[in-house]
């Protein structure tokens, strides 16, 4: 009897332990559920339902700023039109306008209108995502969100750093995130969140080919880190392009990634890269395969200058190379290609003196009715401005205006278009005198003269090897005295890392008589909520001709000369090396107001 009591007591203890354990597991499951619900609740208000023209078709997006900027896919906004309707889970349908597009990366930026306090998603670090991490995909699949409440699917990260080749289109998904969270038609452009509710990607593509237009368990999101590089370019209202090195790579027999072809006009070639050289690293990331190189190269905008390490005969070399564009501008605007003119005369392919038979003459093509002009909301139609090369020039003008005060802070140069004189010495204690007149430019450097006429003749690299310093300083004078009116083209490019510091700077691009110049404006450096260093005009680079090394001029110091500011020390660089350093001691922008 005593033995049975003992056994019963033991069984009871075991049962209580099992029940306690079950309760503990159940509580942890409930905690996980509560956490998921809280994450979804927190981020759902930032998810956008995008509706196409006339309510036909649509997709998804996500707000990334309180003033209404939202990310989506290019292929979603292309069908939605210039102005579109966007719904949020507050039940309100908002007007929205296209801002900038990236046809290659399949990204678009739109702006929701009517508020300046939109709920928005916090951008995370997509490079921190690991296989097996939880991921939420949210959006408007099959246009189910007619009440603007986003659909949520939950799954894991199946792969990272995936490369998706273009499939009959420009759309190239580089370094993207693969997830098994259900992604269906309509999810395109919607957000991918990590388990903390941080935005890590924009859903855009699925492996539908063999399973029909339904989820196959393999969806792909454009990484938010890639989009970060393009975000300022998209805010410029431009049609942006991705980068290429101007070279192709292949895998050698021993597994090395080597150069298989290279354009001699590319900056990489000018920096010493040649056939069969091994790529060791690019943009600070090691290169171990061709696929990895394509992944890394594909996430950067055209025109960025990035570091690269290559090996030749067991010796490593480091360089900075400005990246070329993948496409011609006309390729990025297929809808603007000129249609063939049926009335245009074609060369006669008959024999000389032989009359072509009447029946062989090309018949004119029937007229094709043009679609009706897009109707813009009267209240917002001023927010769309057409211009070649731009998806919406209105927003480029906004960015230009944002940077203008940084130039105005140097003082009023508007009446000083005559002769400028600068004097001082170089870092090597060589005396210099610089004259910028309306008919010519002159530099006397330690008794050696250099001259560039401004009479329409070709611009020269004066002094030789400087990349065209005299022309570069002439353009600085034009910028200060005439602003945008001094150039045939003037636009906000976006941002790019500055060579000397690696920090992102805003870039204005100007063109005049074939010379292109990039003007660099630093951003505020913050210390907590305090501004440690304010935004400033910090330098520029001037290129006399395409595919030639630029004359880069950086302002080491800016000082007051009377009631105006001007560089007190200018560092001139060419081809990645310092060419000259000028210490300006005297500056007179009013030496003469005549056409000297």
Rounded CA separation 111/576 (Å): 39
Q: Which residues, 6 or more positions from 132, have their beta carbon under 8 angstroms from its beta carbon?
A: 156, 157
Report whether 279 contacts 257 (CB < 8 A). Answer: yes
What are the phi and psi torsion angles at 224 (to 5°)? -70, -25
Q: Which residues, 6 or more positions from 217, have their beta carbon under 8 angstroms from its beta carbon?
A: 158, 180, 182
Rounded CA separation 268/242 (Å): 17
As a whole number of Å, the CA-based R_g of the chain is: 30
Rounded CA separation 558/537 (Å): 9
Residues with catalytic function = 75, 106, 188
Strand 419-426 to strand 151-164: parallel, antiparallel, or no bridges (unpaired)? unpaired
For 5-44, b where at least 16 C-beta lie within 10 A, e where not — what string?
eeeeeeeeeeeeeeeeeeeeeeeeeeeeeeeeeebbeebb
Q: Which two tokens stand for residue 35?
A: 């956490």
What are the phi and psi torsion angles at 133 (to 5°)? -65, 150
Please state the separation of Cα 338 from the chain's center in Å: 27
Q: Which two tokens stand for residue 215?
A: 């989820």
What are the phi and psi torsion angles at 411 (to 5°)? 110, 175
Q: Which two tokens stand for residue 14?
A: 């075991």
Strands, E assignment, 498-595: 504-512, 515-522, 525-527, 530-533, 536-543, 551-561, 564-574, 577-592
For 55-91, b where at least 16 C-beta lie within 10 A, e where not — what string?
eeebbbbbbbeeebbbbbbbbbbeebbbbbbbbbbee
Q: Which two tokens stand for residue 400?
A: 């230009």
Rounded CA separation 320/229 (Å): 18
Query: What stretches of 409-515 show up as alpha helix (H) in DSSP?
Result: 469-482
Q: Which two tokens stand for residue 254?
A: 């021993």
Rounded CA separation 571/553 (Å): 6
Report whether 96 contacts 72 (CB < 8 A). Answer: no
């Amino acid at each position: 009897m005593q033995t049975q009591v003992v056994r019963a007591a033991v069984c009871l203890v075991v049962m209580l332990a099992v029940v306690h354990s079950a309760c503990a597991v159940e509580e942890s499951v409930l905690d996980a559920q509560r956490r998921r619900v809280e994450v979804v609740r927190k981020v759902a208000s930032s998810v956008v339902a995008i509706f196409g023209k006339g309510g036909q078709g649509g997709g998804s997006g996500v707000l990334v700023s309180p003033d209404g900027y939202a990310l989506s896919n290019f292929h979603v906004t292309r069908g939605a039109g210039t102005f579109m309707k966007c719904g949020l889970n507050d039940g309100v349908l908002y007007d929205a306008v296209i801002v900038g597009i990236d046809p290659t990366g399949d990204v678009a930026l739109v702006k929701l209108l009517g508020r300046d306090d939109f709920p928005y998603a916090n951008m995370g670090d997509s490079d921190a995502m690991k296989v097996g991490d939880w991921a939420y995909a949210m959006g408007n699949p099959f246009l189910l969100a007619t009440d603007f409440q986003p659909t949520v699917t939950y799954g894991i990260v199946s792969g990272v750093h995936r490369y998706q080749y273009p499939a009959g289109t420009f759309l190239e998904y580089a370094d993207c995130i693969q997830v098994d969270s259900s992604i269906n038609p309509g999810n395109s452009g919607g957000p991918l969140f990590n388990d903390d509710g941080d935005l890590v990607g924009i859903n855009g593509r699925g492996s539908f080919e063999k399973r029909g237009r339904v989820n196959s368990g393999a969806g792909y999101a454009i990484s938010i880190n890639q989009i970060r590089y393009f975000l300022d370019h998209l805010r410029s209202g431009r049609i942006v392009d991705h980068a290429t090195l101007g070279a192709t790579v292949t895998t050698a027999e021993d597994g090395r990634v080597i150069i298989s072809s290279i354009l001699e006009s590319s900056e990489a070639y000018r920096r010493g890269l040649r056939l069969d050289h091994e790529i060791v690293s690019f943009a600070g990331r090691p290169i171990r395969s061709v696929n990895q190189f394509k992944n890394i190269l594909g996430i950067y905008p055209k025109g960025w200058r990035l570091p690269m390490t290559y090996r030749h005969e067991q010796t490593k070399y480091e360089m900075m190379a400005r990246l070329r564009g993948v496409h011609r501008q006309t390729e990025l605007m297929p809808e603007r290609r000129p249609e063939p003119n049926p009335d245009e005369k074609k060369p006669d392919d008959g024999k000389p003196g032989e009359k072509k038979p009447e029946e062989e003459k090309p018949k004119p093509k029937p007229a094709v009715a043009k679609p009706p002009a897009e109707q813009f909301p009267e209240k917002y139609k001023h927010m769309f401005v057409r211009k070649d090369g731009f998806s919406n020039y209105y927003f480029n003008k906004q960015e230009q205006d944002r940077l203008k005060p940084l130039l105005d802070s140097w003082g009023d140069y508007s009446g000083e278009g005559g002769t400028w004189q600068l004097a001082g010495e170089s870092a090597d204690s060589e005396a210099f005198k610089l004259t910028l007149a309306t008919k010519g430019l002159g530099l006397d450097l330690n008794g050696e003269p250099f001259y560039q006429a401004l009479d329409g003749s070709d611009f020269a690299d004066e002094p030789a090897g400087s990349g065209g310093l005299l022309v570069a300083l002439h353009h600085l004078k034009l910028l200060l005295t005439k602003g945008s009116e001094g150039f045939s083209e003037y636009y906000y490019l976006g941002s790019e890392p500055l060579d000397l510091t690696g920090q992102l700077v805003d870039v204005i691009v100007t063109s005049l008589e074939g010379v292109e110049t990039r003007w660099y404006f630093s951003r505020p450096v913050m210390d907590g909520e305090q501004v440690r260093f304010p935004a400033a005009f910090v330098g520029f680079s001037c290129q006399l001709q395409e595919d030639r090394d630029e004359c880069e001029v950086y302002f080491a110091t800016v000082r007051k000369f009377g009631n105006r500011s001007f560089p007190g020390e200018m560092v001139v660089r060419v081809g990645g090396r310092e060419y000259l350093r000028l210490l300006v001691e005297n500056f007179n922008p009013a030496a003469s107001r005549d056409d000297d």
